[in-house]
Amino acid sequence: MKLDELFTFGRAMGEEGISDLHIKVGTPPVLRKDGKLIITPALPVTRADIDEIISEIADETQLKEFKRKRELDLGISIQDIGRLRVNLYWEKGNPAIAIRFVSEHIKSMEELNLPPIVKNWALARRGLILCTGTAGSGKSTTIASMLEYVNQTTEKNIITIEDPIEFIFKDKKSIISQREIGIDTHSFDEALRCVFREDPDVIFVGEIRDLETMDISLKAADTGHLLVSTLHTLNATETINRVISFFPPHQHQHIRTLLSATLLGVISMRLLPKKDGTGRIPACEVMVCTELIKKQILEGKTEFIPKIIEEGMLYYNMQSFDQSIMSLYKSELISYEIAIHSVTNPDDFERKLKGIKGFEPQR
């Protein structure tokens, strides 16, 4: 396999909605489509194949870094294909490659079927927005849509700190500076320390990974900036607990106070297969930081948050995962099998379906 053949796979990824490509020694390339792995009919990849690809996509400095750290993240753009997020790693003594296709087209929030409250958050003057979920759950796509909405509608200075850069933005009403770890700055926390001197209105931190980055992010949100970031947490309650757990116990009450004052909301993502087989659609838990939510954060009573989210659907545009899944199912966007498999409480889901007058499950 040579680089032009890799590009052919990349082109297929863009045209057929395939999200990932995996290349390792001894097996054919493997694609991921709609969450499922597909083994290609190509010949097994050799060590020479991988060495040649790596030498063409990484420069000399990056190759030295890869040999030293045994891991490397890259972002590359290929004409007629788009943006690829590349991770180089080692397995069983051989280098391997994982590639994520990043669409050049940044979809609108309506195209992504995101909750309307997310659009309101994007236009906020200050505060903290956290987008959470497992890897591949749509976090980056969601935040890109939010930033592009700001870019199209308001005059803001947006600064992103990413590892690596994924979606490429073009200045519209706003100006956007995109900084990549390892190329434009050394680390998230170092870039964040300097960002206040760059006159930002909106700051996007690709991922909060450590105490220092979390600490500076909270302070940025508290000093009049809108800060958006991601965490690998499954829901809002876990997200709040994770934020607090970054800090030592003697600081927990101070962090609860700061978090309750700065947090606008949490959106947690899961991607579910669409009923018509045309791709996937997000099921979203949405927590808006209302006065009642702030009270639970301050008092350390996060176990009550799921119930508050469920009860806040009508007045505060909150929703639980199960409420989101119910809405997707009633709109015939997902099948009954996917819905019942994905909800937190299948029995409760069944009872609610039967309680809807004239509504019968479409099995």
pLDDT per residue over 75-107, tens digit each?
A: 888 776 678 889 999 999 999 999 888 877 899
Confidence of residue 138 (pLDDT cuts 50, 70, 90): very high
**Six-digit token pair at 8?**
């052919």
- Tell me the average pLDDT of the chain: 91
| Average pLDDT score over residue span 35-57 | 89
* CATH no., domain 3-102: 3.30.450.90
Confidence of residue 6 (pLDDT cuts 50, 70, 90): low
Lowest mean pLDDT, pick from 3-17, 137-151, 198-212? 3-17
Look at the block and give the residue holding tokens 């993240």: 73
Query: What is the predicted pLDDT for the residue at 36?
Result: 85
Query: What is the predicted pLDDT for the residue at 179?
Result: 96
| Average pLDDT score over residue span 269-281 | 92
Confidence of residue 229 (pLDDT cuts 50, 70, 90): very high
Strands (E), the chain: 18-23, 30-33, 36-39, 71-78, 82-91, 94-102, 127-132, 157-162, 175-180, 202-205, 226-231, 263-273, 280-288
Query: What is the predicted pLDDT for the residue at 357?
Result: 47
Query: What is the predicted pLDDT for the residue at 147?
Result: 98
N-term to C-term CA, the chain: 45
pLDDT digits (tens, 9 = 90+) for 341-357: 999 999 999 888 887 64
DSSP for residue 181 = B
Query: What is the predicted pLDDT for the residue at 278?
Result: 85
Domain boundaries, given as residue ranges, for the chain: 3-102, 117-319
Query: What is the predicted pLDDT for the residue at 13?
Result: 58
Q: Is 129 left (phi over 0), alpha (psi -120 to 50) or beta?
A: beta
- Whether pLDDT at 361 is above 60: no
Confidence of residue 17 (pLDDT cuts 50, 70, 90): low
Q: For a pLDDT cut of 70, what percent of the chain falls above it?
A: 92
Query: What is the predicted pLDDT for the residue at 279?
Result: 86
CATH superfamily of 117-319: P-loop containing nucleotide triphosphate hydrolases (3.40.50.300)
Confidence of residue 51 (pLDDT cuts 50, 70, 90): very high
Confidence of residue 228 (pLDDT cuts 50, 70, 90): very high
pLDDT digits (tens, 9 = 90+) for 171-196: 999 999 999 998 899 999 999 999 99
Query: What is the predicted pLDDT for the residue at 217?
Result: 95
Residue 174: what residue type?
Answer: S
Stated pTM of the model: 0.86
